[in-house]
Structure formats: structure tokens, C-alpha cells
Amino acid sequence: MTIAPDGRPLIGDHVRLDRFVADDIEALYAAIDDARVYAAGFGGGPGGRPAGVDEMRARWQQAAPQRVAYVVRLARDSELGAGGTVVGTTSLGDVDLANEAVHLGWTGYAPAVWGTVVNPACKFLMLQHAFEDCGFTRVKIQTSLVNTRSQAAIAKLGATREGVLRRHIKQPDGTWRDTVVFSILADEWPDVRKGLLSRIS
């Protein structure tokens, strides 16, 4: 049986993912308020970068019912009693229980953690939750066609590139985004899992 993501904490050795709550907005804004985060399409691209905490709060309140959003914290900081430094966000959404499918996306990290263990550790926890806890048989991951860094990171997971959705999403500045779609299926998860664990360790 397939069940919807329930927002439970997802805790690993390197990161912990907690369901986003209103009190997280200031720390999240501080973590990802960087032109580099939005340059390649996160949040709708450069035109979607919030001008301040209040604007980000309003956008997140509007999007909240559509997905299960997490804040990403460094687990070691949490162990030290600091509450866990917020370094980004990721979500599960577009839940389709009938077709056992979910979308893992809306992911943005502070540039300081790019290229570190943070992304593979987060993807491991999210995919494990999707496949093993929720019973999904397909997880979609997508990114902007111009975001070659993100495409490389998704491919490195072991996801299959399915193609490009042209003129797919209208962005805040009025331009249109072409979207590259990848997926991981349940029978591919064991190999993907093994690869992620190797990278994390």
C-alpha cells in the first residue's frame, strides 16, 4: 500500500530533515539568500528571489499545502545542542497515490555546502522515505535545462534522464523554463541506495 509522506523527521549521520514550520523561515532565508542559489532556476530563477524574510514567508505559506517541505540541518550541530544549522530545503510533492508516484524537488542549499556530503545524504533520506516508508514505485526529480550542475548531481544519483519538457513553467520574470525530467523506480532503488551509502560513508 502506498501512503502519503507524513512529514516525520528524517535523521542521518550528516543531516537531519525536519518538516518546515513558520519559525524556520528566518534561518532558511539566511541560508539560501544568495544570487547563486537562484541563478540556475531555484524558486523560479533570479526573478523569484525574495526581497526579504516577509516575502519568503508569504510564498512559503502559499506553497505549503501543495507539498511536504523540509528544512535541512547539519546533524552534528544538532548533537552539540545548537539546534542544527539550517543549510537548505527540499520537499516531496505532486503526490499521486493511485499511480504510486511522487516528486522529490524544490531543493536549494547554501553554496557553502555545495559539493559536500549534504546533497547525497539528503537524497538518501528522502528516497528511503519515499520507497521504503511510503511505498512509492516512482520518484521524479527535475531541474531547469540551464542548471547543468543540478543535472549532473541528479545523474550521479543513478537517476534516469527521461527528457525535456519544453516551455514548461512560466517564471516570475516572464520567461519560460525548459525542464529536464529524471526518475528513479522502485526496482532501481537498491542500486541507487548502495551508491549513495558509498558516497556518504
Ordered structural domains, the chain, with CATH: 10-200 (3.40.630.30)
Supply the pLDDT for residue 145: 94
7-17 pLDDT, tens digit per residue, is 999 999 999 99
The length of the chain is 201
Confidence of residue 40 (pLDDT cuts 50, 70, 90): confident
Band (83; pLDDT cuts 50, 70, 90) = low
In the predicted model, what is the mean pLDDT of the chain? Answer: 93
65 secondary structure, DSSP code:
G
**pLDDT tens digits for range 164-185:** 999 999 988 889 999 999 999 9
Q: What's the pLDDT score for residue 53?
A: 96
- In this prediction, residues 109-114 reach a mean pLDDT of 95
- Average of pLDDT values for 139-159? 94
Tell me phi and psi for residue 86, to 5 degrees.
Answer: -75, 125
Sheet holding 160-170, edge to edge: 10-11, 15-19, 67-74, 86-96, 101-109, 138-144, 176-185, 160-170
What mean pLDDT do residues 8-36 have?
Answer: 95
Q: What pLDDT, on the 0 to 100 scale, is given for residue 159?
A: 97
| In the chain, % of residues over pLDDT 70 | 97
CA distances from 82 to 17, 70, 125, 166 (A): 15, 18, 22, 44
Band (pLDDT 50/70/90 cuts) for residue 79 is: low
Whole-angstrom Cα distance, residue 142 to residue 54?
Answer: 28
Q: What is the reported pTM?
A: 0.93
